[in-house]
Chains A and B, each alone.
Chain A
Amino acid sequence: MTVSDLTTANVSGARDLMVFRGEKYWSTPEDVIREVHQQGLSVRIPRNTVPEGMVRGLSRIALAHIKAVMAIEHGTEDELRAAFANLHDPDVDAVLARTYEHAPSRWLEMPDTEATRAIFEQFGVKFSPGIFAFCYWTGCAYYLKPGEDEAPRDLAKKGVQAVRGINPETGEILLPVATEHEEED
C-alpha cells in the first residue's frame, strides 16, 4: 500500500487519518496499546493543520509504527517460539507467557542477549512499518497556557476544545517548559 493509493473519506462520509507513533517513545506497538488503554490517545499536531472533515465517533485515527509488521524468512512463528522456549531462560519464558494484542510485539520485547540475537538471525526475523490499530477520533484539544482562559479564536472556530492540564502528582497546572514531547510524536 502507498499512501498515494488512498482516497480520503470513509463509508460514513467522515475522514480518517494515520499517524506514526515514534519508536523513540514507544519502543513497540504494544507500548502504544497499553498507553491508550490507560489514558486514551493524544497526538500533538501543528496548530495550523487542524484536520477538516473529521466527525466525532466516526472518523478514525489509524496508528502506525516503524516495527508493526514482522516477517520470518526461515521457518514459522511456532518454530521461533519453540527456539526461544528451548533457551530455558526465565526472562524469555516470562515474555512468552505474556498476553499481547499486537502479536509481533512479543518478539520485540524479548530480552536482548547473545542467545536471543542468534535466534532472530537464524530465523531471519525482520520488522517493517505498518498500521497496527485504530482509535475513534473524539475531538481536538488546545492546552491553555498560564493566563489563558480560552482557546485562540482561530482554533475555537474549528471546534478545538480548551483544556487546562493539571499534573495529578503535584496538582499544579502544566507549564510550557522544556519537555520530551515533540510535535511529530
Chain B
Amino acid sequence: MPEDRLVQRRGCGFPIPGGVYLESIGSAGGTLPAIVVLDPPIPVDHFHRGFVMIDLDATLAVHNVQYVGSSLQSAEDYKLRAGMDKIARDIFGDGARIKHGQVTKFHDAAFHILDQAGWQPGGAAAAMQARSILREQASILAPMVELKDAA
C-alpha cells in the first residue's frame, strides 16, 4: 500500500512524481538523530554529481572529527525563514528569497506595515488583504529580498 505523505517545499522545490529519492526521515520518539554535524568538516577533492559510495568510518578515523549534534535554534530559524520566504514569494514572485541575516528584519518590517494599516488577522480574506497591503509597500521590503532564477 502506498503511503500518503504531506510534503513541504524544500530548497529544491517539491518532490517530482515518478522520481526516486534516498531518504533519512526520522519519527517522533525515534532513536536516530535527524542529522549529525561534523566539526571540522572533511575536505573533499571536488564536486560530485549524483551519489558516491564511500567508507565514512575510515574517513572519520583519518580526520579528528567531533560531533556537534543538533540544536532547536537551527530548526526555529528554518521555520521563521520558511514562513517569511513564502510571504516574500507572494509579494515579489516565485524567485524571491529573503537575504541572509534579514529574515527577522523582514518579519518585523512586514508586521509594522500591517500594523500601521490597521490590518487584523483571520481568514482567507484577511490573508488576501495582507498580501495587497504588503505589495503596495513592497519598496520597503525590497532591500531585504533577493530574486533568484526560479528555473
Contact = CB atoms under 8 A, between A and B. Distances in A.
Contact of B16 (A27, A44, A61, A95): A44
A176 B19 CA distance: 9
A86 interface: no
A99 B23 CA distance: 26
Given A31-B11, A37-B75, A103 B36 contact: no
16 contacts: A3-B54, A18-B44, A18-B54, A37-B34, A37-B35, A38-B79, A41-B22, A44-B16, A46-B20, A61-B22, A91-B105, A94-B101, A99-B77, A132-B37, A138-B24, A143-B18
B32 interface: yes
A57 interface: yes
Interface residues of B, number: 75
Contacts of B151: 180
B19 A19 contact: no
Interface of B: 1-8, 10-26, 32-59, 62-63, 68-71, 73-75, 77-79, 81-82, 99-102, 104-105, 150-151
B56 A10 contact: yes
A127 B39 CA distance: 15
Interface in A166-185: 166-168, 174-176, 179-185
A135 B36 contact: yes
A88 interface: no
Interface centre among A38, A63, A103 (most CB of B within 10 A): A38
Interface in A122-156: 128-146, 149-151, 155
Given A101-B71, A111-B101, A174-B7, A129 B54 contact: no
A44 B38 CA distance: 23
Most chain B beta-carbon contacts within 10 A, residue among A9, A135, A144, A164: A135
A161 B46 CA distance: 32
Q: Sort A-B residue pairs by CB-CB distance and give the 9 closest, nearest first.
A: A34-B78, A135-B24, A180-B13, A109-B100, A25-B11, A37-B75, A40-B25, A162-B2, A41-B24
A108 B44 CA distance: 19
Interface of A: 1-3, 6-11, 15-22, 25-47, 49-51, 57, 60-64, 66, 68-69, 91-92, 94-95, 98-104, 108-112, 128-146, 149-151, 155, 160-168, 174-176, 179-185
Contact of B3 (A26, A94, A162): A162
A133 B35 contact: yes
A68 B65 CA distance: 14
A109 B74 CA distance: 14
Contacts of A42: 10, 15, 21-23, 25
A33 to B, nearest CB: 6
A161 B63 CA distance: 35
Contacts of B73: 98-99
Contacts of A150: 2
